Amino acid sequence: MLVSSRGYEAVEATRCAEAARRYGGDRSAGRSRVDEYRELLEVTFAAPSDVHQLIVFAYVQLLEWKPGQVVDELAGETLEDLGNRFVVEYTSQ
């Protein structure tokens, strides 16, 4: 589905407001950090982002790589190989 730039901005604004509401630090609902983390991943990967942006996000945020390290070590890899490598590295932690 093609979304106009104005429509995309509205989707992003709504998603950001929802994430701020969810992750504002209020744990009064009894949610654990694991639940919050799982939900954050679901929101992130359900967003209308390009695959390469999500893969870089995963390496930087979840594997704690530096952005330059991602570029230096992974620039020549296919998206499929990047995804597979990420899964192996993430599950081995």
Task: Report the pLDDT value the prediction gives residue 79, as an integer from 0 to 100.
Answer: 85
Residue 61, classed as helix, strand or coil, is helix
- pLDDT for the residue numbered 66: 94
Indicate the pTM of the whole model. Answer: 0.54
Positions in the chain whose pLDDT score sits under 70: 1-31
pLDDT of 10? 55
Q: Which residues of 56-75 are buried (b: 16+ CB within 10 A; e: fewer)?
A: bebbeeeeebeeeebeeebe
